[in-house]
Structure 1
């Protein structure tokens, strides 16, 4: 089997957030408007699809079609190690991240989709087949909510079967004190039996993060995700020693060496490789094995649950899938009847590969000029 073509396209969407009138641009934040979708076609007629997020999205489309295709054309899509080696040697000998990592992620996901379709196995099975289901948490705590709406939305998602909720912090004008009040409002709304996570998306200084941790220690937070500027591994390790709240990070890191830095500095309790950003399933598997050696779980951060659910189910130390409402909306638009959680748990589709059927009308309506 040989790779014959890569077709990449740029798309945009908006979402509806419960309890908020009107639609929100992107996946819940104004700057998250774009995503890249690609299809990889083989000479045997098997086509796989992949996806990556919004960072420098125009560049990712050009990279896939103008740079990656000439490098990998006529290679066997099942030879993922050889493909990654050629990409590193030809396009990325200095192991840079950014556009090249996201393009590689998009391509690699499609290659695993092809492998699964050819072998009649799911991607989760190809990764190791540890289980067929994965628990999910819902990212719902968008900054558009006031405190009362946040509490009401939290109760709504618990009523819908979720046992774990994540809220955004680090963006409110009231600073860490308002964040603490919002987290406390969620805890009071849902009681003690529900997991609560906080996600700062790199936006706190070490001092602010410590102050927030101290203010919510008694709320029994399951993890504090990417609290610090630049995912600074040294500063994360310092914060981890200063708080009893578990720290999680790694969702946007572009390859295993950046994620290794978090492990070596003992900077995190939970490692978060995201296949749509870190180099696809090929790189995610290596990161998961690294984490296993250090007895660390991996959990999905950075969204795109329809892809990352395979990592969480297939790999031995896979844990929670992020049911991010923004990325869920994208999946419901571009795929036909995609899987959704039942009682807070996602089941891997029985169909081979990713188990997803493309909605051509949805792709067409979301497409923008690249």
Structure 2
């Protein structure tokens, strides 16, 4: 079961938000790892500098690990680390490229063992609750309410609205979220996400103004998610803080723990180095009694870590990412009445639509 080949390609998927006609492009880096006995596992990353990620995998990571046994995960990661960084912490494209390779390794090991990744992680549950990321800045307040009501009518009970998007500033964000809360009522879980867009003073004011709206969490509130500023914000609001979408590797979470910065851990295996790194974060969350969720379009990959660990809570269902997965994966599970099932097949349990891969191809790695 040695690694025989690793292939990458960059793809662009068209997605369309409710109430919006123009299609939007969403890029993905697709990675296939093939073994000497003919098995194929796949991993993925997304969004930022996809061509650089694909090239890093095939030009640098692949030569370092071809011929190694897929079951020797620690040996593989030791080899990869020496290639990816001479010293210090890995970040950015390095971690995205590692995510591609690591997720493919987990997929293959699940196939060999005949188990889902969720089972390999602990197998705590077979389905998880979801929260729906829908409240994009492109929507007017009336549209936010309309789409929110449509989602609630479909059985969803946890919704997320973006803040830091209003041209008029944080006060307009407050008015938008307040309008959604009033329209949807007190029984719907409502969270907010600033995508690291706010300075500390604006985040404090926004959070304090929204405390009466019973917000479940405030995600990625600050520029660069500075651990010290997050800790200050956390003492100034009763709204729980969450983070970990873009740089949610274990050393980053360690910093947040040491400063008392976060209430909810949200690693994303497409960006942080893969499921191996997410496991480290999940164990930190257990040690420090923190709930474990996910954020940022990890989609059907992240369902596995939320289901695998007993401190897992909600997985994200992002309206745009969900459309990509419906196109890319054959018979991918979809959220129903606020719950999504773990894919049943071994590994990540997903089957790729080869025709869609061909039609969406931008460039091979």
Do both proteins adopt the same fold according to a TM-score greater than 0.5, normalized to the shorter chain?
Answer: yes
**Residue 171 of structure 2 corresponds to residue 177 of structure 1:** yes
Counterpart of 2:293 in structure 1 is 299
Q: Distance in 2 between matches of 1:58 and 1:2?
A: 26
- Aligned match of 1:323 in 313, 317, 336? 317
Which residue of structure 1 lines up, in the alignment, with residue 246 of structure 2? 252
Q: Structure 1 residues 93 and 319, CA, compared in 2 at 3 Å: closer, same or farther? A: farther
- CA deviation after TM superposition for structure 1 residue 301, in Å: 0.6
Partner Cα separation in structure 2 for residue 205 and residue 332 of structure 1: 36
Aligned partners of 1:75 and 1:319: how far apart in 2? Answer: 35
- Deviating more after overlay: 192-201 vs 79-88: 79-88
1:2 equivalent in alignment to 2:6: no
Residue aligned with 2:86, SS: coil
Deviation at 1:251, TM superposition (A): 1.3
Question: How far apart are the structure 1 equivalents of 2:236 and 2:75?
Answer: 43
Residue 47, structure 1, aligned to residue 32, structure 2:
no
Q: Is the 8 A contact 1:142 1:168 kept in 2?
A: yes
Secondary structure in structure 2 of the residue aligned to 1:277: coil
Contact kept? 1:333, 1:363, Cα under 8 Å: no
Structure 2 distance, partners of 1:46, 1:224, is: 42
**Per-residue Cα deviation, 1:165-214 (whole angstroms, up to 9, x for no partner):** 00111121011011111111111121001111111010000000011011
1:155 to 2:149 alignment? yes
User: For residues 329 and 166 of structure 2, what CA distance do their matches in structure 1 show?
Assistant: 34
Decide whether the 8 Å contact of 1:138 with 1:324 is kept in 2.
yes
Partner Cα separation in structure 2 for residue 354 and residue 320 of structure 1: 18
| Partner of residue 63, structure 1 | 56
- Write the distance in 2 (CA, Å) between the matches of 1:43 and 1:369: 25
* TM-score, normalization by structure 1: 0.96
Unmatched segments (≥5 aa) in structure 1: 27-32
5 Å-filtered alignment, 1:201-280, equals 201-253=195-247, 255-280=249-274
2:31 matched to 1:35?
no
CA distance in 2, matches of 1:349, 1:90: 33
Q: Does 1:104 align with 2:104?
A: no
Deviation at 1:279, TM superposition (A): 1.1
From 66, 69, 79, the counterpart of 1:76: 69
CA distance in 2, matches of 1:185, 1:176: 14
1:138 has 2:119 as partner: no
Q: CA deviation at 1:300?
A: 0.8
User: How many aligned residue pairs are there?
Assistant: 363
Q: What is the alpha-carbon distance in structure 1 between the residues aligned to residue 263 and residue 29 of structure 2? A: 31
Per the alignment, residue 285 of structure 1 pairs with 279
Please identify, of 53-62 and 91-100, the stretch whose mean Cα deviation from structure 2 is larger.
91-100
1:15 maps to what in 2? 15
Q: Is the 8 A contact 2:84 2:90 kept in 1?
A: no
Is contact 2:200-2:222 (8 Å) kept? Answer: yes
How many angstroms does 1:310 deviate by? 0.3
Deviations 1:38-71 (A, max 9, x none): 1000001110011111112111000110100011
Matched, 1:91 2:84: yes
Q: Would the aligned equivalents of 1:253 and 1:278 in 2 still touch at CA under 8 Å? A: yes
SS at match of 1:78: coil
What's 1:191 paired with?
185
C-alpha spacing 1:104/1:254, structure 2 compared with 1 (3 Å): farther
| Mapping of residues 114-125 of structure 1, within 5 Å | 114-125=108-119
Q: Secondary structure at the match of 2:316?
A: strand
Q: Per-residue deviation at 1:144? A: 1.4
Moved over 4 A (4+): none
Tell me the TM-score normalized by structure 2.
0.97
